[in-house]
Amino acid sequence: MAARILVVDDEPQFERLILQRFRKQVRAGLFDFVFASNGEEALRIIEQEESLAMVLTDINMPIMDGLTLISKVRELEQALKMVVVSAYGDMKNIRAAMNLGAFDFLTKPIDFSDLEATIQKTLEEVQLLRQAELANRLSDENEKLEELDQLKSQFFTNISHEFRTPLTVITGMAKQIETNPDQLLTKGLAMIRRNAYNLLDLVNQILDLHKVEAGAMPVHLMQADLIAYLQQIAESYEALAETKEIKLHFSTSEETLVMDYDAEKMLRIFSNLLGNGIKFTEQGGEVFFDIAKVDGEVQLKVRDTGIGISQEQLPKVFDRFYQIERLIVPGKTGTGVGLSLVKEFVDLLGGRIEVESQAGEGTTFTLYFQIHREAPEAQDYDTSGLMLEQLLLSRQPAISEAGKQMDNEDLDVPKVLVMEDHPDVAQYLISCLEGRYRVEWAADGEKGIERALEQIPDLIISDVMMPRKDGLQVCETLKTDTRTSHIPIVLLTAKADIESRIAGLKRGADDYLAKPFEKEELLIRLSNLLEQREKLRKHFQALAAEEGEGMADANEPEDQFILQIRELIETNIEDENFGIHEVCRAIGMSRTQLHRKIKALTDRSTSSFLRSIRLNRARKILKTTDLNVSQVAYEVGFRDPKYFSRTFAEEFGFPPAEMRK
């Protein structure tokens, strides 16, 4: 392809000289010259042609001189190489040209060999720059494609998560109803119906996305009272807001506003905005839905006092598949399609949408629509009543965390702490565990950690994707805390990929269960974990005794915990007053926490476990010394030799005197 070169000179003779000198290159298709007689004409050519490789320009020309032309080209941010060819070869003009961005400078009369070499050098530089630009462009495009691929991959992962959660409730509760219809029929059917409509909403989002991409999304306008319709949508979210102790406010400057609108798309738009507002607002916050007429338009504003969006992420908020990173509520996910569809629908209806947000201070979405009254009047403004009914059903509040009271709290069965932010999934888990376990429920990871530290349960079932702290953070926190490191943790998640499982196991999870799951599988996994814990108890009991020497694994926190307790008692073995209170103070645990941990590890009470350490030391002394029983009793911190003999016999099955026989 010929290199296109613009020659700017007001002397016709210079044009002839150029064409004559480079005629071979022109015929060979190497050079293609374009001519202009002044800077102004040249500037027009430069603005119109993107294929120019370089410019040869004189300085002294009418209308616009060469130095001005170079300056103008620089303002255009054109990556053209400019070579000055002029009779004015003084240093002042050379410096001026180079300072303005000229690539090179030649003086007249021209040495055409020098000119040819300069042109060749300039074109080589242009070629290198174009190759670098192409490489950068390809790299940028490749990065964008990779980013899009990652976003789509994340989209399908999130879709899988969003599908698996309601499917867990639907399939699980259906089986529960089959086995216990009298107790679970009404509540179970409500949960199934609610989650079925959630699934339907997800399917509709995906179908809408396909229609929008294909340009096949129809608009069905009707003329009706928009305010009454939007108020119904807002009211459908009141119960959901109440479950989170969030105040939902609806206000309007107009009592009625009859205008053209698409009911289905308005429902989709404001279901998404109100749902997000509630979802990403902390307990005790507020969500506002305000309507006003402004300059012939209707202004619809949804504002929340939630966690907000960072300024870096704000420009991408409407991008397809983009998931906003929620710094405070990391477990609250979605498909990455909702806000994108909102923007598409607003554009389709001829409106506009704006977003304002500050991280930690809340978010405001403001929508504007022209007020028209040209569509057919609706017989009933609620022509999308079925959709609203489905929305109402899907937004019915599930059981609240605070309202759930367990009936089996006093049963002598293991305690399970369930950490799950989805109320229906939590309710399903509770229904699976009732009668076999005492169950506590925490609706987020932060509360779950607090309750685990307070109650020291026998087992923990934790969802991976939760607000405040996710399941991986729960694992890491509890497994690195001496008070809770022994508790088996089952991670429950809709992410079924092997990478997620490995991430959980690396954080200390004892088992992994993917949604949707079978009740029988859940119960078997919990039972197996308890059986494993029972086998470990013999190990810990032996470790507490001196015959357990050498059995400890330096990498196991439970082994180190038992050895720490044993060392504390043995160091103070003669002190009859060194007991539970002193141990608690030394290791930084409450009496209850210490009791529950020791009970879980050894199946003994704290006092019994501490006493066993003294008795095992006494047994060793009796074997290896000539001290009498009373002396040994005092040696290991017993003030009453008779009590020592009785407890020794209870521990080992024979009195201490028989050790000498």
Supply the pLDDT for residue 164. 78
Token couple for 284:
């005790």
Strands 52-57 and 81-86: parallel
Contacts of 10 (CB under 8 A, 6+ apart): 37, 38, 58, 61, 62
| pTM for this model (two decimals) | 0.60
Domain boundary, last residue among 333, 364, 394: 394
Whether residues 492 and 631 fall in one domain: no
Please name which of 487, 535, 534 lies closest in space to residue 511, comparing C-alpha atoms. 487
User: How much is the pLDDT for 382?
Assistant: 46
Domain check: are 263 and 371 in the same one? yes
> pLDDT value at position 338?
76
Q: What is the pLDDT of residue 332?
A: 47
- Same domain, residue pair 380 and 430: no
The CATH number of residue 390's host domain is 3.30.565.10
Which residues have C-beta within 8 Å of that of residue 20, sequence separation ≥ 6?
none
Domain with 501 in it: 415-517
Q: Looking at the domain assignment, is residue 141 inside a domain? A: no
pLDDT value of position 532: 87
Residues 372, 227 within the same domain: yes
Structure tokens at 184: 């679970």
Q: Last residue of some domain: 517, 547, 581?
A: 517
Q: What does pLDDT average to in each consecutive run of 10 residues of the chain (661 residues)? A: 86 87 88 90 88 86 89 78 78 80 81 84 82 82 77 65 79 84 81 81 77 83 94 88 90 94 91 89 93 94 92 82 48 60 91 92 95 84 52 52 48 88 88 91 92 93 87 92 90 72 83 86 92 81 63 68 88 90 92 89 89 90 89 91 92 84 62
Token reading at 34: 């374009």
Same domain, 362 and 274: yes
Query: What's the total number of domains in the chain?
Result: 4
326 in a structural domain: yes
Instruction: Give the pLDDT of residue 327.
Output: 37
Question: Do 274 and 378 sit in the same domain of this protein?
Answer: yes
Confirm whether 120 is domain-assigned: no
Report in angstroms the alpha-carbon separations of 98 from 36, 42, 78, 162. Answer: 22, 19, 16, 62
- Please report which residue ranges of 215-337 form alpha helices under DSSP H: 226-235, 238-243, 263-279
β-pairing verdict for 104-107 and 81-86: parallel
- In angstroms, what CA-CA distances link 113 with 16, 21, 54, 190, 224? 17, 10, 18, 90, 81
208 within a domain of the structure (yes/no): no
Round to whole Å and give the CA distance between 51 and 47: 11
Write the single-letter amino acid at 455: Q
Q: Is residue 213 part of a domain?
A: no
Say whether both 429 and 389 belong to one domain: no
Q: Are residues 335 and 452 in the same domain?
A: no
487 located within any domain:
yes
Beta-strand ranges (E) seen in 87-191 are 104-107
Residue 237 and residue 380 in one domain: yes
Say yes or no: 613 and 488 in one domain. no
Task: Name residue, tokens 């179970």.
Answer: 188
Q: Quick check: is 243 in a domain? A: yes
* C-alpha separations of 135 from 2, 52, 646 in Å: 21, 20, 87
Q: Tell me 197's DSSP state.
A: H
Q: Are residues 78 and 34 in the same domain?
A: yes
Q: What is the CATH number of the domain that holds 637?
A: 1.10.10.60
* Residue 174 counted as domain residue: no
Distance between alpha carbon 479 and the CA centroid of its chain, in Å?
A: 23
The answer on 582 and 493 residing in a single domain is no
Instruction: Give the amino acid at 168.
Output: T
CATH value at residue 509: 3.40.50.2300
